[in-house]
Chains A and B, each alone.
Chain A
């Protein structure tokens, strides 16, 4: 078995934050007494204390870095997306996915890709069984493929379900995209009846004209849609995604 790379070893391996933190703590610890007792300069001693505080903060952040390297995460994400895309391509599905809250699935949110393009998914009332191919309505053509999206997996790690106001949805999407996944710089959300407008500043995973993206949207839009549908407790569909270099716009249609 090959040895893991140093970058992927997490707590035990070399970490730039730990190295910076150690340097600042040691530097501050040496500099502060020298400045206070030998140079007799209080402002310089204060700089030493600030360095110690910043050093401990760096060392604290070093422990919070992910165990898996970003390259490994990208490979895993791409593999999952390509497998889903292959399934959709084989079935010839190009319909827009509908994101369902956990209350309409078996306890965890998923996306439903209807087999029929004219499907009216506002008719979903009952809980849909946790299978790959599901029947969501009473008509024979009311069939769909249910897939797990990156947002579904992330939402299960959240401590509580987000509230339904624009501020609460914005806070939840910011927490996931900016704080946990580091996929964007900032997020803004506005909610109007039947519609959710999401602005994502500095999105790292941009929209591509691929089969997966046409059905489920980009990973960033998919995560935002999953959080919004869970917060509102209603199915949503990505109706527009306009990726810009600085600020992407995602428009969600709230169904039901």
Chain B
């Protein structure tokens, strides 16, 4: 299961890097953290296409939920910008 372990370690390191960079940049909006983490997650998961079919199916479900949440956050931000809130 080295491929699973490597994938999880890369995900954890990416989350750590993203959160650290945004924290050092003084970011105080939680949706920005979530969006950056979601993008990093989806990119890393896409790069691990060679996992076994069962793992890919399970990860696709997690990715779909994450992408839907990401789309909702982006949608709310677009509505905020358009309505001038």
Contact = CB atoms under 8 A, between A and B. Distances in A.
A39 interface: no
A59 to B, nearest CB: 8
Contacts of B57: 64
A30 interface: no
B18 to A, nearest CB: 8
A60 B58 contact: yes
A60 B59 contact: yes
B22 A43 contact: yes
A156 B18 CA distance: 41
Interface residues of B, number: 38
Interface string A31-72: 000001000001101110110011011101101110000000
A244 interface: no
A92 B41 CA distance: 55
A61 B61 CA distance: 11
A22 interface: no
Given A50-B15, A53-B15, A180-B52, A61 B22 contact: no
Interface of B: 1-4, 7-8, 11-12, 15-16, 18-19, 22-23, 27-30, 33-34, 37-38, 41, 48-55, 57-59, 61-62, 65-66
Interface of A: 17, 36, 42-43, 45-47, 49-50, 53-54, 56-58, 60-61, 63-65, 159, 171, 174-175, 178-180, 182, 185
